[in-house]
Amino acid sequence: MFAFEQEDQWNVYFNRAEIILKAAEGRKGQKPLFKPSRASLIYSHNSFSSQAQAQAAGATLNISSNIAYNEHPPCIALFDALEKKYLEDLRLELAHRGRYVILRAVVNPDRLVSISTIAEDENGEVETVQIYNQDDRKLPVSIVPEGQVFIVKEPFFKMTFGGGTSIRVDHVSDIIFLDGEDERVPEKWRPRLRPLARRPLDWKEDGNRFYGGKQYFEAAQCYTKGLELAEPYSEIERILLLNRAQVYLELGYTEKALADADKRSLLLRGCDYESAKARLVKLLKECPENKNAKDRLLRTFRRLREQRSGEYEFAKMRNEVKEWGNKKGKLDCAEYVGPVRVGHAGSKGRGLFTTRDVKFGELLLCSKAFKVCHKEAKGARFTILFNLKTKNGQSGTHSQLVQELIQILYHNPKKAKRFYELTSGDYERVKGDMVDGLPIVDSHLVMRITLKNCFGCPRLSALDDPFENLFKDPTEEDKIIAEASPTGRAEGSGIWILPSYMNHSCWPNSVRSFLGDLLIVRAARDIPEGEEITTNYLQNESRVQKRQKLFRSQWAFECQCTLCEIETAESDEVKDKREELVEKALKFKVYLKRSLTKIGEGIKPMIKLVKGIEATYSTPEFLYPRVPLISPTHVLHTFLVRKQRPSDVLALAKGALNGLGFKIQLKAGKLVIERYGYLHFPIINLFVHVITAAAISGQSSTAMLWRNLTIKVYEVVAGERESFFDVYERPLLQAGVPVN
């Protein structure tokens, strides 16, 4: 999960926004005191547009913010039931229920977070219109070009932060863009209308008409035109491809039909690999030499194997994700639902439970993203989304995720059902899912569901050479983001449906990892049948009060796990002392950038600090993980490794693993984990330290025993074991440990 840390800067922003909004609230129901003239409104829009463009052209990262403060729901009334109003009828800070306005854009739009334009009504009055959550991949001018006529249902009229006014359209289902033939377009605007760009849906409808009249060539042409415009992997693309495949079959073009069905894995869609297999087998009986069908059948068998047994070609998949670089991608693989089911988890709501006894490391599930947005290359737009109602902010890919989710939900109402089943806390949902033949999408609901269910995610959980990357400085881009965003975080984020049912524990019994758009969950210890599967929403080492504050503000719960219980029972004095020592220890990180002599000088004080932190615990090691020790121990180990002191590393790493709750024993010539500790990716480094230190000290058989154990543990935190030797190749080879 992803948490937003409310730092001071964050609160300052919220406080300022609240003051401005209170002033606006005071004007609720009133007419604006001052309305700029048409000429001045257009002039400031145009000059702002050119400034923004110039800025965007020179920026590495375009940063903008969006403030959702008034969670007004979308319109659920039919258009025919609404009453027409004009701009002069609008009153400040109100969503005009039961009303609509019809407007025409008088300028070309610009885009920061919203698409902003100036529009007139039939009386010639003008107003700024901010349209949120439109498809980010489309140029604003293709959505609302000058001359475009549109209806805003139940318009929300508000004061802007700059002191002006605007109509703010949050919900995609609240705006209807009219084409020239629409009878709702006022007569006086018709001659000057620009023809609207045709949508894939229009081409599909034309194609269907031709198909009904058995005009197959014409129908195929229409579907082809629609496909040129359709978003890849969208529902409309799928329908157009299927329709065209059908037309090709009617025309006797079997191979073309197969190619169409083949694209985007249509034969493998909807996880119905069994019927895909049956269809392909049938097809191959008729055309036994069809190479395409043979390949497809082979892939179908692979997908079936993944779906049934969770056997994936992880190494291949990992390489594929690496090849994406900073680009978007989707893995061609099936979902695996292992021994898990959704059930009731008492006051926590629903939860995920095991359906049988599960062993440490077992695969529980592999889930494909409903939608994921990874941090993109330079030049990406970076938005911060503030919600004053929930006092939460979403930065970077999170606000992009919300925007893209809105589009998916709008265009794929069937798929949307699974998303809407996720929890939205106390948010009051509107009734109904369609209006005027279109899906209702409540942007605020999408924000709430995303807030409670999204996972922060990297493209790959296991980065190559983690030792090299461990204390890497942030990139220029990271620094810009950190400065601009109060959270300072900008990883990827996404929604995975089944994993969203997992409740939180600070010391969970499962670990999640990411491989591109795949989320993998494995058991972090032996779990008996019927036990709840938990995950750690926060991947940080902060103290209990800070964690609880985040749980309350973002997820509205109080964590009652063992770790929280034990830490809460400790005195503030002890916790302050520990925090102070951790802070001091982490300052030593800078030594890593200095000479070996300097690193050597750091060892003694670091040992003292780590021992000092250990001394703040009164309970024995093994009892519960001493999570705050992870980072200081890493720094100290890195010092010792650089100074080539393997016996110290060995002793310390083993001790640190005990401190994290592990009990590892040698039994019958094998290392066995008798008690499972806190599992988190950086802990693998501790295991690797034991391997390399043992090897360097000449204890090669011990090194091999630890190597084999580490691969098992690695599999749990990285999701797969295949990449272990790629990831740790350098340190292992340097220590003379075999890497195969």
Ligand X SMILES: C[S@@+](CC[C@H](N)C(=O)[O-])C[C@H]1O[C@@H](n2cnc3c(N)ncnc32)[C@H](O)[C@@H]1O
Of 232 and 349, nearer to ligand X (C-beta) is: 349
Among 686, 607, 616, 624, which residue's Cα sits nearest to residue 660? 624
CB-based contact 563:625 (threshold 8 Å)? yes
CB of 344 to ligand X, least distance (A): 9
CB of 250 to ligand X, least distance (A): 46
Residue 54 contacts ligand X per CB under 6 A: no
Site string for ligand X, 487-506 (x = CB under 6 A): -------------xx-xx--
CB-based contact 369:519 (threshold 8 Å)? yes
Binding-site member from 177, 189, 557, 681 for ligand X (CB under 6 A): 557
Of 210 and 555, nearer to ligand X (C-beta) is: 555
When CB distances to ligand X are compared, the closest residue is: 349
Which of the residues 618 through 657 are near ligand X (CB under 6 A)? none
Q: How many residues bind ligand X (CB under 6 A)?
A: 16
Which of the residues 406 through 465 are near ligand X (CB under 6 A)? 423, 425, 452-453
CB of 22 to ligand X, least distance (A): 29
List, as one string, the DSSP characters of 597-610. HHHHHHHHHHHHHH
Residue 578 contacts ligand X per CB under 6 A: no
What is the C-alpha separation between 349 and 342, in angstroms, rounded?
Answer: 10
CB of 132 to ligand X, least distance (A): 25
- For tokens 């195929």, the residue is 220
DSSP assignment, residue 117? E
Exposure class string for 307-317: b at 16+ Cβ within 10 A, else e: beebebebeeb
CB of 372 to ligand X, least distance (A): 16
Measured CA angle at 467 (ends 461, 473), to 5 deg: 85
Residue 559 contacts ligand X per CB under 6 A: yes
- At residue 365, the 3 state secondary structure works out as strand
Binding-site member from 132, 386, 419, 555 for ligand X (CB under 6 A): 555
- For tokens 């001071």, the residue is 8
Binding-site member from 23, 54, 271, 556 for ligand X (CB under 6 A): 556
**Helix residue ranges per DSSP H, 616-699:** 630-642, 646-659, 683-696
What is the C-alpha separation between 406 and 401, in angstroms, rounded?
Answer: 9
Of 461 and 500, nearer to ligand X (C-beta) is: 500
CB of 426 to ligand X, least distance (A): 10
Which of the residues 347 through 406 are near ligand X (CB under 6 A)? 348-351
Q: Which residues have CB under 8 Å from 560's CB, separation 6+?
A: none
Of 32 and 351, nearer to ligand X (C-beta) is: 351
CB of 351 to ligand X, least distance (A): 6
CB of 567 to ligand X, least distance (A): 15
Of 243 and 503, nearer to ligand X (C-beta) is: 503
CB of 476 to ligand X, least distance (A): 34
* CA-based R_g, the chain, Å: 29
What is the C-alpha separation between 385 and 402, in angstroms, rounded?
Answer: 9
What is the C-alpha separation between 563 and 547, in angstroms, rounded?
Answer: 11
What is the C-alpha separation between 53 and 607, in angstroms, rounded?
Answer: 54
Give Cα separations from 61 to 104, 116, 302, 378 (angstroms): 32, 20, 41, 7
Of 239 and 401, nearer to ligand X (C-beta) is: 401
* Binding span for ligand X by CB under 6 A among 61-69, 412-420, 549-557, 567-575: 549-557
Residues that bind ligand X (CB under 6 A): 348-351, 423, 425, 452-453, 500-501, 503-504, 555-557, 559
